[in-house]
Structure 1
Amino acid sequence: MGEKGAFYSDEYQNLLKKYGYSEKEIEAKIEKTWESLFFDQDLKFYHQTEDQMAYITDTGNNDVRTEGMSYGMMAAVQLDQKEVFDRLWRWTKKYMYHPAGKYKGYFAWSCDRKGNKNFDGPAPDGEEYFAMALLLASRRWGDGKDPLNYSKQAKEILAEVVHKGENSPGDPMWNPDNYLIKFVPEVEFSDPSYHLPHFYELFARWGNEKDQDFWLKAAAASRKYLQQSCHPETGLSAEYAEYDGSPRFEEGHGDFYSDAYRVAFNIGVDSVWFNKDPWQQEEAYKLQKFFADKDEYTKYSIDGQELEKPDYLHYLGLKAANAAASLAGENEYTEKYLKDFWEAELRKDERRYYDNFLYLFALLVLSGNFRIY
């Protein structure tokens, strides 16, 4: 691929502007989306508490998840909202963090809104987003006093996810032999949507020096794994997949469904930030071609067979992620996907949390505002 990614060039393409939307329109939409999701009384999923803390609710499950807390922190650092970032991180450290035991250094993936842990175990997509958001916060705002010493906090997380079990109880979040992220630490399979090679490139550069080689290998392994797990014709991937990329059906997540929507977004961001994998352009085209003639979404096998149609399908999240894939390479479908995305409205129902987060992230990356600091 000829052009270098933004990590090298510091140039972020505003694809929305290229396709006719004005900077004023784009800035207004970003501001309105942020205000709606974090402060609008009817739409928000962000809730401030005492002691300068706050949490984000998964509105469909009425709990607080490391996914949502880390997404909120990423959105806050991208939009220079330090107070929101710090409030979320204080709540996370106080209620979700494990200071001891086999999960020491990890975060309980689900708590109730009062901070009681629903489950002790972690979900690795939360830890990787926490670490990346903290590193970006350190570079954008500088480190403060504990727990706002962002870079130190990030490096502690990154040490645990790689080395857990070497000198203490527990399991690492990455398989040390194949460098692939696990669905949860105790299992030996993965989730394609967890794979964020663009994060691992930065962990190698800004994380713990002794793990630089590990993270570079993880980035390469993840790019290869995504090619293995995405169907060669449809571009669809399963929610859970074996280490060889084949769908894993045992837990009932071997088809293209909610988690898997994020793969399109992730390849778009990796292409913007590092632009190392020509396959990503092919993958974006396959996905966009597959969905181009579909007015309503359903659940699909990865070879494109229609399955059941759950009423809680995250249609807006899929629309947003597929639009973000355009950043991996423009094609005959790009204008359609950007138009559909631009004209879409935020969800207002109880399932709005996941969809509206993906919408916000897609809006940021498509406007050149999902950046490395």
Structure 2
Amino acid sequence: MSVLKQGAFYTGKYRNLFKEIGYSEEEVEAKLEKAWSELFDEDSDMRIYYPMGDDKGYILDTGNLDVRTEGMSYGMMMAVQMNKKEMFDRLWNFSNTYMQHSEGRYKDYFAWHCKPDGTRISQGPAPDGEEFFAMALFFASNRWGDGPEPYNYAEQAKKILRACVHQGENGLGDPMWDPATKLIKFIPESPFSDPSYHLPHFYDLFALQADDKDRPFWKEAAEASRAYLHKACHPETGLSPEYAEYDGTPAKPQPHGDFGHFFSDAYRVAANIGLDWEWFRRDPWQIGQSNRLQAFFRGIDVADYRRYTIDGKPFEEPALHPIGLLATNAMASLAADGPDAQHFVRLFWETPLRSGERRYYDNCLYFFSLLALSGNFRIY
């Protein structure tokens, strides 16, 4: 095989970057288990997971005291990676019962946030939730097998992806992917995208597992997203905007604010590129991109992380989620081969989970990075 065909999808082998810089497998396993306990055990004051009744549970956004499809789908992905089926099923049952629409313009999409009792706060969806729900469900089907509805995981995943591609063909609603460009939208109604939503490594797997008629679409979407990220990431800093037009340029200010800068959503781009390289290695540009991003942040202390223009000018406003940003900078080391790759892995290892009310988003990104850098964010 060529060098570009040696990703984990082909080899079944996953790098353990902590081991590469000298930590033992026992130390790595202990760190992963400790982080899991801090985030998910009922007696932990750091926890973000709350069981509900006999068969449900939710991930709490501790800063906003609500439940989001982002967190629910992230929690499901964490659970399937850690082989925690009961927790996975509780999260999925909550999401399916309270958040997923059964009719109307958003049929089979999910209301993007609700109260912890399941009452919807907003009806509209956020597509990053749908794509993570679908991937986690396919992994659950492949790891544990399908059960009775709603635990017929593969069919539930296909139903979500069917809506993402075909919603609106009957005149009601909108698809989550722009049919002309094959790019994911910020919301179904928007004429622009969010670079951090682009998960080509998921779409390549959807192309193997979605409805037969939609598999060519997902293959095209994967290649379109890889090409899009070339345009959305700044050629010198590696920074990408929170929202971007379909041509990759920063999006115009929106009614809820100006998000044409590097801010909290955009942190995830580095992590997504790193994981895409680890799994598929289809785009060698990802190596240089990851090196550029790490070079930009190398001289900045984590405590001084901020919002930035994509060409690197800092705002007065500090980063809301500095630990999350460090986690994604470290996850870029899956693709990076420059002088900063090991630095960020070591710095991340030495940094604890975030405590306090704003811990939810940081620690979700932290746990994904911990999984990925230890070789435990796997394809099932």
Q: 1:212 aligns with which of 207, 211, 215?
A: 215
Q: Does the Cα contact within 8 Å between 2:59 and 2:75 map onto a contact in 1?
A: yes
Deviations 1:192-213 (A, max 9, x none): 0000000000000011110111
Deviations 1:212-258 (A, max 9, x none): 11000000000000010000000000000000000013121110010
Aligned partners of 2:55 and 2:320: how far apart in 1?
Answer: 35
Task: Tell me if 1:184 matches 2:190.
Answer: no
Task: Tell me if 1:353 matches 2:353.
Answer: no
Q: Does the Cα contact within 8 Å between 1:7 and 1:372 map onto a contact in 2?
A: yes
Name segments (4+ residues, structure 1) moved above 4 Å: none
Aligned partners of 2:378 and 2:225: how far apart in 1?
Answer: 21
Q: 2:275 aligns with which of 265, 269, 278?
A: 269
Task: Tell me if 1:80 matches 2:93.
Answer: no
Task: Tell me if 1:300 matches 2:303.
Answer: no
Aligned partners of 2:28 and 2:252: how far apart in 1?
Answer: 41
Task: Tell me if 1:34 matches 2:68.
Answer: no
Q: Does the Cα contact within 8 Å between 1:163 and 1:172 map onto a contact in 2?
A: yes
Residue 336 of structure 2 corresponds to which residue in structure 1?
Answer: 329
Q: Does the Cα contact within 8 Å between 1:105 and 1:160 map onto a contact in 2?
A: yes
Residue 98 of structure 2 corresponds to which residue in structure 1?
Answer: 95
Residue 21 of structure 2 corresponds to which residue in structure 1?
Answer: 19
Deviations 1:57-85 (A, max 9, x none): 10111100000000000000000000000
Aligned partners of 2:298 and 2:123: how far apart in 1?
Answer: 41
Instruction: State the Cα distance separating 1:313 from its structure 2 match.
Output: 1.5
Instruction: State the Cα distance separating 1:168 from its structure 2 match.
Output: 4.9
Deviations 1:14-60 (A, max 9, x none): 11101111100000000010111011430101000113100111011
Q: 2:56 aligns with which of 41, 53, 57?
A: 53
Out of 251-260 and 3-12, give the one that drifted further: 3-12
Residue 255 of structure 1 corresponds to which residue in structure 2?
Answer: 261
Instruction: State the Cα distance separating 1:369 from its structure 2 match.
Output: 0.3
Aligned partners of 1:329 and 1:239: how far apart in 2?
Answer: 22
Instruction: State the Cα distance separating 1:335 from its structure 2 match.
Output: 1.8
Residue identity opposite 1:269 in structure 2: L
Aligned partners of 2:44 and 2:117: how far apart in 1?
Answer: 20
Aligned partners of 1:339 and 1:249: how far apart in 2?
Answer: 37
Residue identity opposite 1:261 in structure 2: Y
Aligned partners of 2:114 and 2:99: how far apart in 1?
Answer: 7
Instruction: State the Cα distance separating 1:308 from its structure 2 match.
Output: 2.1
Aligned partners of 1:135 and 1:173: how far apart in 2?
Answer: 19
Q: 1:317 aligns with which of 312, 315, 324?
A: 324
Q: 2:131 aligns with which of 116, 128, 133?
A: 128
Residue 8 of structure 1 corresponds to which residue in structure 2?
Answer: 10
Deviations 1:328-360 (A, max 9, x none): 132211221111100001111111000001010
Q: Does the Cα contact within 8 Å between 2:291 and 2:341 map onto a contact in 1?
A: no
Task: Tell me if 1:343 matches 2:345.
Answer: no
TM-score by length of 2: 0.97
Residue identity opposite 2:198 in structure 1: H
Gaps of 5+ in 2: none
SS of structure 2 residue aligned to 1:259: coil
> What percentage of residue pairs aligned between the two structures are identical?
59
SS of structure 1 residue aligned to 2:140: helix
Q: Does the Cα contact within 8 Å between 1:102 and 1:168 map onto a contact in 2?
A: no
Q: 1:243 aligns with which of 219, 237, 246?
A: 246
Deviations 1:125-176 (A, max 9, x none): 0000000000000000000000000000000000000000112510000001
Q: Does the Cα contact within 8 Å between 2:37 and 2:44 map onto a contact in 1?
A: no
SS of structure 1 residue aligned to 2:57: strand
Question: Over aligned residues, Cα RMSD in angstroms?
Answer: 0.9
Residue identity opposite 2:12 in structure 1: D
Aligned partners of 1:365 and 1:315: how far apart in 2?
Answer: 19
Aligned partners of 1:21 and 1:209: how far apart in 2?
Answer: 44
Aligned partners of 1:342 and 1:250: how far apart in 2?
Answer: 37
Task: Tell me if 1:362 matches 2:364.
Answer: no
Q: Does the Cα contact within 8 Å between 2:101 and 2:108 map onto a contact in 1?
A: yes
Aligned partners of 1:330 and 1:151: how far apart in 2?
Answer: 36
